[in-house]
Amino acid sequence: MSRALHAACVIAVLGLCLFSTAARAEQSCASLLPNEEIGRGREPVTPEALAGLRDIGPAPRPDRNRSLFSLSPDGRRIAFQLHQGNPSENRYCVGIVVMSALHPARPELVDISHELILDTPPRYNWASFHIGAPLPTAPRWSPDGRSIFYLKRIGGSTQIWKADLASGTVVQVTHASVDVDDFQISPGGHEINYVIRPGVKTNSAAIDREGLAGWRYDERAFPVRGARPQTPGSDRVYVGVDLETGLEMPASEAVINDFIQSDSNENRIDLTISRAGDSAFGERIDASGFPEDFRIAVETRAGRRHPCLLEECRIGWLAPLWWAPDGRKVRFFRREGWANSLTAVYEWLPGSRRVQRLLLTSDYLVECQPIGDDLACLRERSREPRHFVRFDLDHRREKQIFDPNPDFSHLAMGQVERMNWRNSEGVPFYGDLVYPVGYTEGLRYPLIVVQYRTKGFLRGGIGDEYPIQVFANRGYFVLSVDNLTYEDIVGKQASVGALVSAFNHDFAGRRNILSAIEVATRSLISRGFIDSRRIGITGLSDGCTTVQFAAIHSVLFSAGSVSGCGWEPTQDAFLGPMVAQSYHEGGWPRLIDKNPDFWNQISLIDQAERVKFPILFQAADSEYLAMLAGFTAIRQAEIPSDMYIYPNEDHIKSQPAHRLSVYRRNLDWFDFWLQDTQPATAYPSKELTSWLAMKRIWLSRLPSSEN
């Protein structure tokens, strides 16, 4: 702690520390809020520019029950968390920001830290399952609107802090021995109720003691993440804190029920109540298939039900709904259009046989909250990173409230074309085609395929590893493909397990996805856009699976790059019994099954000689073992390949220095194989020597027509 911060600790008796705004304004966070002066140049989008973007929440949003921003009680201000990576220091600047919800105005930076709170949800009866994505978290307002409360992480501990917006002081509210998972403010604003899991710390200590006699290999094992057993989960403990005295006490049953959000009617979702006491909700109408279908319904205070029987009120997607300000009409979201690629907002008067569509867009509305007749949203567009916008639904108008990255719009970016098509099985797919910057009609360019969602800002695909606009500035077409959901491809099934099994049976789902990519790519070749000898394909997680499948089954691609997968007959040994069992339930064979017909369709070990293109592996240290067997096999088969392992990373890489390195190496890999350009000199000469040697061997084995 600096001397200035130490001097600001004026309430040591209570164990609380108040910091002035000036003391918190560290130089390393000076760029967290954008400058008012915006450059007007047309500089290219670089890996550094992408790595330095300011972000609000994770992308994509994993849990819509956790908000990314909050409105003040009077609806005039918005509070949210803003973070920005600094690759040179390999850390983040994380800020709590308050701004006007009414009109564009310079935001106020209330507090900062350098530790991003990552999402670690419990899974498989373990205390946490590390993902690598930021935790969706929004500050909470005091009932009088004078203060905000928020989660902040310092020194590896996540606690609740309070910021007084008038005085500019911040106070640490909780000092729990473990991380605070979530919290609520009492209606009167005099108490904070929070959730912790102290048993996790106890369970972790027990594993340490067990290690003295050796860890038993059991359901806690997850070998790809190391030999140490995963920490078992524990019960949640609910605690209340009196904000005036600092005294803590067990939370009341009513508070606990609020946290649990128990609902006696399991057939209703998204309950919202009007001022008159009428209830609007999503009602299940078909529980025989998965996912279930819902429809909008209203129940009056007197108990009279009004289901909406119109097709527009049928919502397979669990979407927000709310009452219009007049308390008479219900507004709700639904997906529609080609392959459900569009988002609409509708309004319905209960009892009416008509609905009114208020908004239809292909933009990604990450999160929206009503403000009177308006709607405040976090929005992304294909060439615009996440920003705040306010929709006037009645007059079909919008205004941007805050853009965290105003400079980005003045960089040179490729134009974007939305593509809709059907694969060879007739399933509708969609994607976004990004043109090379400076595109010249009549020239054929290399193409890179990026997966596996294409909603909103075209940054780097799922996992953000493949820098789309950087590729466009380097002379590539980029096809960003949405791989749809399992039910879009194989239809609804009896259960989630049956859905996954149907998707995996004979690799039906994977064949559909690869077919969609191939059909779209061949259409671009037919349009005269693409050089058919220079096509690359990329993917993390599900996208990686498609690349692995394509490496055996497709002759269309000339280079690939992957992260976060590795399907092989030996995978049970690396995944551990809990994770392996979940895959068995989805149709993947057990190790003992010895199913060559199955594995010949996907395994790089079994089909190494059939791999059609060079592959770059960029793996987290917690996942590389799952990829190592396949990588080793194709290396032994003299298929050009390289692997890089990033320390202390999860499924999605979170460290800023690693993200920048992944961007750069992917750019160099495709430049090397598709543009015949040598890697940047920033990398060791050993890497270049290795790549050149691999290329000589590879070219000598190709037919002369492909050289």
Rounded distance between C-alpha atoms, residue 183 and residue 354, angstroms: 41
Q: CA of 703: how far to CAs of 104, 236, 530, 699, 700, in Å? A: 60, 63, 21, 8, 8
**Does the pLDDT value for residue 336 go beyond 70?**
yes
- Half-sphere exposure (Cβ direction) of 302: Cα atoms closer than 13 Å: 2
Q: In sequence order, what are the residues at sequence separation of 6 or more whose Cβ sits closer than 8 angstroms to the Cβ of residue 688?
A: 678, 679
Region 406-415 average pLDDT: 93
Could you tell me if 535 and 525 are in contact, meaning their C-beta atoms sit under 8 angstroms apart? no
Q: Give me the percent of the chain exceeding a pLDDT of 90.
A: 79
pLDDT tens for residues 571-598? 999 999 999 999 999 999 999 998 999 9
Please give the angle made by the CA atoms of 647, 650 and 653, to the nearest 5 degrees: 80
Please provide the DSSP assignment of 645-680 as one string.
EETT--SS---HHHHHHHHHHHHHHHHHHHS--PPP
**Does the pLDDT value for residue 24 go beyond 60?**
no
Rounded distance between C-alpha atoms, residue 329 and residue 675, angstroms: 57
Amino acid at site 695: K
Amino acid at site 39: G
**Does the pLDDT value for residue 39 go beyond 70?**
no
- Half-sphere exposure (Cβ direction) of 304: Cα atoms closer than 13 Å: 5
Q: Give me the percent of the chain exceeding a pLDDT of 70.
A: 92
- Half-sphere exposure (Cβ direction) of 549: Cα atoms closer than 13 Å: 22
Q: For residue 515, what is the DSSP state? A: H
pLDDT value, residue 182: 93
- Tokens, residue 381: 């567009």
- Weakest-pLDDT range from 256-260, 367-371, 451-455: 256-260
pLDDT tens for residues 436-484? 999 999 999 999 999 999 999 999 999 999 999 999 999 999 999 999 9
Q: Does domain 413-706 have CATH number 3.30.60.50?
A: no
pTM: 0.92
Rounded distance between C-alpha atoms, residue 166 and residue 175, angstroms: 24
Rounded distance between C-alpha atoms, residue 677 and residue 681, angstroms: 12
Q: CA of 692: how far to CAs of 447, 614, 630, 641, 696, in Å? A: 22, 12, 22, 12, 6
pLDDT value, residue 37: 60
- Weakest-pLDDT range from 10-24, 322-336, 470-484: 10-24
Q: For residue 64, what is the DSSP state? A: T
Rounded distance between C-alpha atoms, residue 225 and residue 228, angstroms: 8
Region 663-681 average pLDDT: 91
- Weakest-pLDDT range from 132-141, 498-507, 638-647, 679-688: 679-688
pLDDT tens for residues 492-526? 998 888 999 999 999 999 999 999 999 999 999 99
Higher per-residue confidence, 9 vs 135: 135
Question: Which sequence spans correspond to the domains of the chain?
Answer: 413-706
pLDDT value, residue 6: 34
The residues facing 428 across adjacent strands are 422
